[in-house]
Amino acid sequence: MIPPDTSPTRTDPAPLHITVRTAVGGGRTLLSAFDAALLEAGVANFNLIVLSSVIPPGTVLTRDTTTVAGTHGDRLYCVESVAYADHPGEVVSAGLGWVFDPVLGGLFVEHTGGSEASVDEQIRLSLADMAHSRGIDYGEVSTAIVTAHCTTTPVCALAIAAYSVAGWTTP
Amino acid sequence: MIPPDTSPTRTDPAPLHITVRTAVGGGRTLLSAFDAALLEAGVANFNLIVLSSVIPPGTVLTRDTTTVAGTHGDRLYCVESVAYADHPGEVVSAGLGWVFDPVLGGLFVEHTGGSEASVDEQIRLSLADMAHSRGIDYGEVSTAIVTAHCTTTPVCALAIAAYSVAGWTTP
Amino acid sequence: MIPPDTSPTRTDPAPLHITVRTAVGGGRTLLSAFDAALLEAGVANFNLIVLSSVIPPGTVLTRDTTTVAGTHGDRLYCVESVAYADHPGEVVSAGLGWVFDPVLGGLFVEHTGGSEASVDEQIRLSLADMAHSRGIDYGEVSTAIVTAHCTTTPVCALAIAAYSVAGWTTP
């Protein structure tokens, strides 16, 4: 008797769960400002691997602020938008925008700028171009934009989409 | 009785098939210009993970323009050279160069510049240095170079080598 | 009879072995200078995938100069700090710093600058901020810093932490 095939298949995978997060962090270096933003976003203790920047069909996509589950040092596949301000008075914004259809999948875009309005405008221009060139109407645009204001030491504005965690036993 | 070992082994894998592609794209933002070039190159609907930039022994290496097979949002390991022009009249070139021996493997290099001649010269200098420092004569240099010319909105010149697609069920 | 489960588990993996390496390389292009440094560091024949930059608990962490074992073209997950000097007289330093507790895991930081003292200072500021924001005393800071001095052609200063090699049969 042939046992049932219970192995995961490419045609019927568990849905990917992507969480979108924004945060601001500060530190005495650009790097520790970035780390503080990652900590605030719940992803500081992972080895980030940056993707550009497509959403698979069937993905469950939510906004979240809780810490991503996983072991310290696991790899985390993500899409990120990062901007720094390190002169007192300087203001920067970073944002992700996306369109998503459950059947067709979707697209992320990453933009940075001097204001949230500028980032929002760039996001909508990019996504409109990208939908047009594919001949697909993905519907409504969503955004997650955050602003950091430097008063003394460096600050980091971070918008990040956390895709999937991979441990080191499955390299 | 010991069953036959049918697991894949490191000494006898299926050969990697790398396809080299060039494209030019335009858009209202640098990002949508990049996306348009990716679409033209047949790799727009993947999550790119950028490698630097070695060719395994036994690889099948071809030039291609067809769309890479895979599910929307899969990860695509690649080597890429990208250049942007966003001032009217500005011209940029981007290129990959490579040497390859079926037994020893090979090397990719990525260069950008203001003309195809400049990119070609940089490619040949880099590969000559890299072959020399390894004490290996890899033979003939191949190149894939493309030029983008900005007239109004941003354009992107892209040369990309697509390695391997990975779905999200095998993180 | 149910056969014993011999598959690797997340709770009892083989420990990750991270090796930290520094090197200087020169070439006629920035890229071949980088490659020469990679060769000196024993990691030139891998496809590097850059991580940011966490050390898993239980990791074995050593300094090394021997060539990393693996097949030409395999992927190598790594943390890297890279700086270039391409004007005669120009001097650059690149370094990694880290803290590590065998039970809690640890953190890498990457910095570059005009002198080893400057890189060392940035490393200590970043790690102090990052430990403070986590509320953890990781203890002593370790560093690996290297300096490259340009006299004629480009040079590269490289500090790199090699995590794990992955072949192409397990994408």
pLDDT in tens, A123-158: 999 999 999 999 999 999 999 999 999 999 999 999
The rounded distance, in Å, linking the Cα atoms of C101 and C58 is 8
Substitution target in B39, B46, B169, B170 with the highest count of A β-carbons within 10 Å is B169
**Using the beta-carbon criterion (under 8 Å), do B29 and A163 form an inter-chain contact?**
no
Q: Residue A13: pLDDT band by 50, 70, 90 thresholds?
A: low
Tell me the pLDDT of chain A averaged across its residues. 92
Domain that holds residue A89: 17-63+73-166
Please tell me what DSSP assigns to residue B153.
S
Instruction: Name the residue among B93, B67, B96 with its Cα closest to residue B155.
Output: B93
The rounded distance, in Å, linking the Cα atoms of B22 and B160 is 6
Query: C77, C142 in Cβ contact below 8 A?
Result: no
In a domain, B1, yes or no: no
Answer whether A75 touches C (CB < 8 Å).
Answer: yes
In a domain, A138, yes or no: yes
Pairs from B37-44 (Cβ < 8 Å, separation ≥ 24): B37/B82, B37/B156, B37/B157, B37/B158, B38/B158, B38/B160, B39/A133, B39/A134, B40/B158, B41/B65, B41/B158, B41/B160, B42/B66, B42/B67, B42/B68, B42/B162, B43/B67, B43/B68, B43/B76, B43/B78, B43/B160, B43/B162, B44/A134
User: So what's the ipTM on this one?
Assistant: 0.90
In a domain, B123, yes or no: yes
Q: Where are the alpha helices (DSSP H) in chain A?
A: 30-41, 116-134
**Using the beta-carbon criterion (under 8 Å), do A32 and C165 form an inter-chain contact?**
no
Q: Where are the alpha helices (DSSP H) in C4-142?
A: 30-41, 116-134
Q: Is the dihedral of CA A72, A73, A76, A78 positive or negative?
A: positive
Answer whether A71 touches C (CB < 8 Å).
Answer: yes
In a domain, B53, yes or no: yes
CA distance C171 to chain B (A): 6
The DSSP secondary structure of B17-61, one letter per residue, reads EEEEEEEEEE-SSHHHHHHHHHHHHT-TTSEEEE-B-EE-TT-EE
The rounded distance, in Å, linking the Cα atoms of A66 and A51 is 21
pLDDT over 50 at B139, yes or no: yes
- Partner-chain residue, chosen from A49, A55, A125, that has the shortest CB–CB distance to B73: A55
Q: Residue C12: pLDDT band by 50, 70, 90 thresholds?
A: low
A72 chain-C contacts, CB cut-off 8 A? 54, 56-57, 104-105
CB pairs under 8 A between A and B: 85
The type of residue at C108 is F
Beta strand ranges found along chain A (DSSP E): 17-26, 47-50, 54-55, 60-63, 75-85, 91-101, 105-113, 142-149, 155-166
Tell me the pLDDT of chain C averaged across its residues. 92
Answer whether A46 touches C (CB < 8 Å).
Answer: yes
pLDDT on residue C1: 38
pLDDT > 90 fraction of chain B, expressed in percent and rounded: 89
pLDDT on residue B15: 87
Q: Residue C74: pLDDT band by 50, 70, 90 thresholds?
A: very high
Substitution target in B130, B165, B169 with the highest count of C β-carbons within 10 Å is B130
The rounded distance, in Å, linking the Cα atoms of B49 and A79 is 11
pLDDT over 60 at C161, yes or no: yes
CA distance C33 to chain A (A): 25
Looking at the structure of chain C, the number of domains it has is 1
pLDDT over 90 at B128, yes or no: yes
Query: Burial level of B33, CB count in 10 A (0-12/13-18/19+)?
Result: buried
**Using the beta-carbon criterion (under 8 Å), do B77 and C46 form an inter-chain contact?**
no
In a domain, A84, yes or no: yes
Q: What's the rounded mean pLDDT across residues A105-119?
A: 98
Please tell me what DSSP assigns to residue A86.
-
CA distance C125 to chain B (A): 30
pLDDT over 80 at C8, yes or no: no
CB pairs under 8 A between A and C: 83
**pLDDT single digits (tens) B15-60:** 899 999 999 999 999 999 999 999 999 999 999 999 999 999 999 9
The rounded distance, in Å, linking the Cα atoms of A35 and A74 is 16
CA distance C13 to chain A (A): 6
The rounded distance, in Å, linking the Cα atoms of B50 and C73 is 14
pLDDT on residue C14: 77
Answer whether C59 touches B (CB < 8 Å).
Answer: no
Query: B96, B108 in Cβ contact below 8 A?
Result: yes
In a domain, B9, yes or no: no
Instruction: With H, G, I as helix, E, B as strand and everything else as coil, classify residue C34.
Output: helix
In a domain, C10, yes or no: no
In a domain, B12, yes or no: no
Chain B neighbours among C 117-146 (CB < 8 Å)? none
Give the relative orientation of helices B30-41 and A116-134 as an angle to the nearest 10 degrees. Answer: 20
Q: What is the CATH number of the domain that holds B50?
A: 3.50.20.10
Answer whether A67 touches C (CB < 8 Å).
Answer: no
pLDDT over 50 at B137, yes or no: yes
Answer whether A60 touches B (CB < 8 Å).
Answer: no
**pLDDT single digits (tens) C76-118:** 999 999 999 999 999 999 999 999 999 999 999 999 999 999 9
**pLDDT single digits (tens) C14-38:** 789 999 999 999 999 999 999 999 9
Query: A41, A168 in Cβ contact below 8 A?
Result: no
**Using the beta-carbon criterion (under 8 Å), do A129 and B45 form an inter-chain contact?**
no
Element (H, E) at B132: helix B116-134
Query: A99, A140 in Cβ contact below 8 A?
Result: yes
Answer whether B65 touches A (CB < 8 Å).
Answer: no
Answer whether B30 touches C (CB < 8 Å).
Answer: no
pLDDT over 80 at B121, yes or no: yes
Residue appearing with tokens 């596949």: A77
pLDDT on residue C13: 60
Q: What's the rounded mean pLDDT across residues B140-147?
A: 98
Answer whether C76 touches B (CB < 8 Å).
Answer: no
